[in-house]
Amino acid sequence: MESRLEKSTVTGERLVYHYTSAAGAFGIISSGKIWCPSVYYMNDRQEGIYARSVAHQCANILLKASAPEVRTAFTVELQRQLERTDDAGAFAVCFSEAGDLLSQWRGYGGNGGFSLGFGIEALSQAASRIGMQVKKVLYKNDEQIVALLPIVKSFMSSFDFSILGNREKIGDIFLPLARAIAAESAWMKDAAFSEEREWRLCALPYSNDNAEVSYILRSGLIVPTVVFDLYVGQKSIGKRELRDHCLRNYFVGPGSDRHQQLFAISGLLRKMNWYTEGGGTSRAPLK
C-alpha cells in the first residue's frame, strides 16, 4: 500500500499518529516523553519473532545450490541462535499514517482515547540524537526479503560451514547475525496488518538489564521499556515561547464526551506550554 501521509498545514511536515488511551495521552503530555515498550509485549503475538521466518527464507535462497544436509544444519542452527535474542529484542512505539482510522480506535484508542499527530522530521531529529530511528513498517514479503538478504548474505559469505557441529564456537559466531535480525524485526509485520499503515520509532535491541531499559506495569504485566524524550526545542508564536515536542495536531476519539475532552486536552497542552496546530474530534462510528 502506497504512503498517503497527511502534512502539517504550517510546517509542511509529514504526520504520523500515535493512538492511545486518555491515560496514555495525559502521561505523554504531562511528562514530554513517550514510552517504547519491548516489541515482545505488543498486541501482535508474532512481534519480535516474525522476522525470523524471513531470515530463514533468505538463508534458503542463498543456500539453494548447497547440499540438503548443509541447508538443514544451517537453518536449524540459525533458529537456535535467533532464540538466544529473546531477552534482547527491539523497543518501539507505533504510529499510523491515518489520524482517524476506525480499526486503530478499536485496537488502541478505545472509547475516549486520542490520536496524537507527530511530525516525522521532528521525531527523526530527536531520535537521531540518541541513536534511535523512525521508519515505515514493511508488510510485503518481497520488501522484507530485500531488507534482510544483505545481512544474511554478508554473514554467510564469511561463514565457515565446517564448524556447524562445534558447539563451543558456533554461538559467538552466530550472535552478531541474530542481533542484526532482532534489530530489523521492529520494522516487519505480516501483510494482514497492512491497513494500519504503520511507522515506528525504534531503539536498538537492548538486554532487559541494560541501563537504558526501565520497567512499567501495563495490563497486569511488568513490561521492559525505553523512555523517549520528545522535546526538540522552542517555537516562537507571537510573543509566546512554546515547547516543541514534535506534536502537530490531535484527534479526540469516539465517545460521548468527545467535545469536552477536546476542551480538556487543549487546556492541558496550553498549561504545559506545548506547541500544536490545533485538534479535532473523530468522525469514526465507534459505539
pTM of the model: 0.88
Q: pLDDT grade, residue 212 (50/70/90)?
A: confident
Burial of 230 (0-12, 13-18, 19+ CB in 10 A): buried
Which whole number is the average pLDDT over 54-80?
89
CA atoms 213, 219, 120, 86: torsion sign? positive
Pair 224, 37: CB distance under 8 Å: yes
Of 35, 237, 229, residue with least CA distance to 128: 229
Backbone angles phi, psi at 169, to 5 degrees: -95, -35
Of 234, 34, 221, residue with least CA distance to 116: 34
222-258 per-position pLDDT tens digit: 999 999 999 999 998 888 899 999 999 999 998 778 8
| Unique residue bearing C-alpha cell 511528562 | 31
Pair 138, 144: CB distance under 8 Å: yes
